[in-house]
Structure 1
């Protein structure tokens, strides 16, 4: 079910999708889509097809680093740091909300308050369709991995832990 009237963070995602000429595929799931497992169950897809968004920050400068990965994979922080070229650290929920404009569980790949450096795990690129958070823990949007890369401006990299799935 599409929700036409949300404002706030879901509205920012909808506006970013429209500005990029992407169809409005945002759907709301009252049961929630906070975790990859919750989202997959709500949408009716595999956990691997959930494009989870994780926010980190560069050590020192505090620049946001958005990592988009398959819900079935864990991220290797050393690989992320190597791609970024500087050490990274986990970001707490308050910093994530202040910097991105999204609460954890609803961080979208587009519509950020501060433009992050975006990395996309290469494992996502082999899938036909993916679903990503759309600004709240109850909203997701459907897209293709290629469109996700285009929308986010993300760099594709091998950043999953070896053997994670």
Structure 2
């Protein structure tokens, strides 16, 4: 079970007990925001892409109100942004869509944090299931999620913040 992998992983940071297991689904940004009682932008969504010329998958963690900017993505990674299918996402991360996060991954994928998150003191990424989350600072998210670097590959969020 993926949430168990995330609990084991976050135990390395003494944070597994901080995982919030919800009675409601948090499988989408809007559902997570409603279940947690926060604005949708504070949901840290993790998106899986075929992100590099060598075919390696990459994860982008972005604010809930941000959208991938194809031009920026292509400038950074050299390929058009193409999301993985639900099956490919599960195969690459060990997490089903709705619970994808940068924690407890079954493959060592590069994780990039989008700057759209930095406007918040804390954000809420999923924790491996469609009804879990954890509140983290952006610095904690980058550390625990083994963020390779902060990037600017999203659009729309600046108009909302």
Q: How high is the TM-score relative to the length of structure 2? A: 0.89
Counterpart CA distance in 2 for 1:12 and 1:135 is: 8
Aligned counterpart in structure 2 of residue 142 of structure 1, from 111, 135, 142: 135
Tell me the CA shift for residue 81 of structure 1: 3.1
Aligned counterpart in structure 2 of residue 10 of structure 1, from 3, 12, 16: 3
Alignment RMSD (CA, Å): 1.8
Aligned counterpart in structure 2 of residue 157 of structure 1, from 142, 147, 151: 151
Counterpart CA distance in 2 for 1:87 and 1:81 is: 5
Q: Residues 84 and 60 (structure 1 numbering): CA distance in 2 closer, same or farther, change over 3 Å?
A: closer
Aligned length: 158
Unaligned runs of 5+ in 1: 1-7
- Residue aligned with 2:17, SS: coil
Unaligned runs of 5+ in 2: none
Aligned counterpart in structure 1 of residue 89 of structure 2, from 96, 100, 105: 96
- Residue aligned with 1:72, SS: coil
Q: How high is the TM-score relative to the length of structure 1? A: 0.87
Counterpart CA distance in 1 for 2:58 and 2:105 is: 11
